[in-house]
């Protein structure tokens, strides 16, 4: 039976395995998916998780629950020797081992791409994982607790200053969602005023959200300005040492929460650890039919999709001729990849990937959104419903859909959940504080001198 190895359990990896289970006949192939995490994260929900609008566990999909016929391995693929069709798997527990395969599907996704700016690696946080979204939410709410106990001054300003670097969709969404969360928190903190909170978004380009029209992006800027949020265009971050964010304009903004969303790059662990062809931007070179290779040459038995791959955009709308790294492409590429892989196993011809961008939707906090499809643009409440409707339906599996929709329904009546669980990152702190410990060993006493006998006493007296 042919062995299919899927590297990465994100969008593209999960959907490839999910659809292979549907398309493969019994006994036609053996499928294994490898990822260190036991779940797929639905990344468009991360800004709402950071704002407390969606329960963190509801925005991820458990691999073992939904992949019934696929072997799920909690590990990393740290090496690919495709010349011999062998991958090196490093499990989360145990020693690395070799895995032989017949077909490999590389869907390892992307990670945050940063620059060697002093202080960023030490003080900033990304927004690519569910853990980062939860940490952002908890940090903001913890800072409100701390700031409420302090008098007005530099330290309180630092705690209540949020800085987001990057004006793409992810940056704008988390920026606006956190502004909405902060405004909601203020009613519970009578010690703090709206004017005490400071939100800054730093964008190196002259505009935000290139996926929408200039007119729509300008509406977003005006909306954010009305809500007390500051957007710095044509501005770069030059330093962040000690949490003091230095800008190319000469301004310095002290902050305790710096969020980096200024770009992504293909997972370097997988790309650099293998012998598959790579293009100049560090992505696996992929054909339009999602096989690895070029238009003139095919790497037999190798496939790629999602953010880790450079797939030609046959619509002509991609950046540099390739599909942009987003969920819309990753999901659709994975669905076609599963069909093409099965077709090749059966001696059939695979189809080329062709998908024209349907548009873009973004949530900007409760009841505010933007929607762009061609020349049609919506803003405000209607666009917010479009945003939630699209992503609610796009969430894989009805089990996950119902959990998300039920959470939204509850929040509509009960308000967003503002519970701060930052201590989860140190869950043993109470136990350690009060746990009884054995007393330190006492130093051994010197042995007592033996008592003198009666005869010896008389001799001492006589002398």
What CATH number does the domain containing 89 carry? 3.50.50.60
Same domain, 220 and 331: no
- pLDDT-based confidence at 359, cuts 50/70/90? confident
User: How many domains, the chain?
Assistant: 2
- pLDDT-based confidence at 172, cuts 50/70/90? very high
* Nearest alpha carbon to residue 170 among 80, 45, 317, 273: 45
- pLDDT-based confidence at 328, cuts 50/70/90? confident
Q: Give domain status of residue 408, yes or no.
A: no
Q: Each residue of 125-167: pLDDT tens digit?
A: 999 999 999 999 999 999 999 999 999 999 999 999 999 999 9
Q: Give domain status of residue 417, yes or no.
A: no
Q: Give domain status of residue 77, yes or no.
A: yes
The predicted model gives 108-123 an average pLDDT of 93
142-150, long-range: CB < 8 A, 24+ apart = 142/420, 142/422, 143/256, 143/257, 144/182, 144/185, 144/189, 144/192, 145/420, 147/189, 147/192, 147/196, 148/189, 148/191, 148/192, 149/191
Tell me the C-alpha distance between 146 and 75, whole Å: 39
Same domain, 100 and 156: no
pLDDT at 327: 86
Residue 450 has pLDDT above 70, yes or no: no
456: Cβ–Cβ under 8 A, 6 or more apart, which residues? none
Same domain, 135 and 243: yes
Same domain, 194 and 212: yes
Q: Give domain status of residue 223, yes or no.
A: yes
The predicted model gives 409-427 an average pLDDT of 86
Same domain, 104 and 45: yes
Query: b/e map of 280-307 (b: 16 or more CB within 10 Å)?
Result: eebbbbbbbbbbbbeeeeebebbbbbbb
- pLDDT-based confidence at 321, cuts 50/70/90? confident
Q: In 10 A of CB 17, how many CB atoms?
A: 27
pTM of the model: 0.90
Residue 80 has pLDDT above 60, yes or no: yes
Same domain, 238 and 268: no
Domain finish residue from 203, 236, 262: 262
Look up the domain containing 195 and give its range. Answer: 124-262
Domain finish residue from 262, 284, 315: 262
* Nearest alpha carbon to residue 34 among 4, 68, 6, 2: 6
Same domain, 270 and 253: no
Residue 58 has pLDDT above 60, yes or no: yes
- pLDDT-based confidence at 455, cuts 50/70/90? low
Residue 460 has pLDDT above 80, yes or no: no
Same domain, 150 and 49: no
The predicted model gives 3-7 an average pLDDT of 97
Same domain, 49 and 138: no
Same domain, 135 and 258: yes
Residue 446 has pLDDT above 90, yes or no: no
Tell me the C-alpha distance between 267 and 110, whole Å: 5
Same domain, 128 and 230: yes
Same domain, 142 and 257: yes
pLDDT at 422: 82
Q: CA gyration radius for the chain? A: 29
Least confident of 30-34, 332-336, 350-354, 454-458: 454-458
- pLDDT-based confidence at 417, cuts 50/70/90? confident
């Amino acid at each position: 039976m042919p062995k299919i190895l899927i590297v990465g359990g994100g969008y593209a990896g999960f959907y490839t395995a999910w659809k292979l289970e549907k398309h493969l006949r019994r006994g036609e192939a053996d499928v294994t998916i490898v990822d260190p995490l036991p779940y797929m994260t639905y990344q468009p929900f991360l800004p709402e998780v950071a704002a407390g609008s969606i329960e963190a566990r509801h925005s991820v999909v458990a691999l073992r629950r939904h992949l019934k016929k696929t072997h799920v391995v909690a590990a990393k693929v740290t090496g690919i020797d495709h010349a011999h069709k062998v991958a090196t798997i490093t499990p989360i527990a145990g020693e690395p081992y070799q895995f032989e395969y017949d077909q490999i599907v590389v869907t390892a996704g992307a990670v945050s791409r940063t620059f060697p700016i002093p202080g960023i690696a030490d003080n900033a946080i990304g927004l690519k994982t569910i853990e980062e979204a939860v940490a952002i939410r908890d940090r903001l709410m913890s800072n409100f607790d701390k700031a409420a106990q302090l008098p007005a001054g530099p330290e309180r300003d630092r705690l209540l200053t949020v800085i987001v670097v990057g004006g793409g969709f992810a940056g704008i969404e988390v920026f606006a969602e956190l502004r909405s969360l902060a405004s909601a928190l203020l009613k519970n903190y009578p010690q703090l005023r709206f004017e005490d909170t400071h939100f800054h978004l730093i964008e190196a380009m002259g505009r935000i959200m290139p996926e929408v029209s200039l007119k729509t992006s300008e509406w977003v800027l005006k909306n954010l300005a009305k809500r007390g949020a500051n957007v710095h265009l044509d501005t770069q971050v030059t330093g962040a040492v000690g949490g003091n964010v230095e800008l190319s304009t000469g301004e310095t903004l002290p902050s305790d929460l710096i969020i980096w969303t200024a770009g992504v790059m293909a997972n370097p662990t997988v790309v650099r650890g293998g012998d598959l062809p790579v293009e100049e931007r560090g992505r696996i070179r992929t054909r339009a039919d999602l096989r690895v290779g070029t238009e003139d040459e095919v790497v037999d038995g190798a496939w790629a999709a999602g953010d880790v791959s450079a797939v030609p955009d046959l619509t002509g709308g991609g950046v540099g001729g390739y599909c942009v790294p987003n969920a819309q492409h990753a999901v659709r590429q994975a669905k076609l990849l599963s069909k093409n892989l099965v077709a090749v196993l059966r001696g059939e011809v695979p189809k080329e990937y062709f998908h024209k961008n349907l548009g873009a939707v973004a949530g900007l906090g409760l009841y505010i959104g933007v929607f762009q499809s061609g020349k049609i643009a919506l803003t405000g409440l209607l666009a917010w419903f479009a945003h939630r409707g699209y992503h609610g339906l796009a969430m894989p599996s009805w089990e996950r859909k119902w959990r998300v929709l039920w959470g939204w329904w509850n929040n509509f009546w009960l308000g967003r959940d503002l519970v701060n669980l930052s201590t989860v990152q140190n869950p043993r702190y109470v136990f350690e504080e009060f746990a009884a410990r054995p007393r330190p060993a006492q130093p051994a006493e010197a042995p007592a001198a033996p008592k003198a006998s009666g005869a010896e006493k008389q001799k001492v007296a006589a002398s």
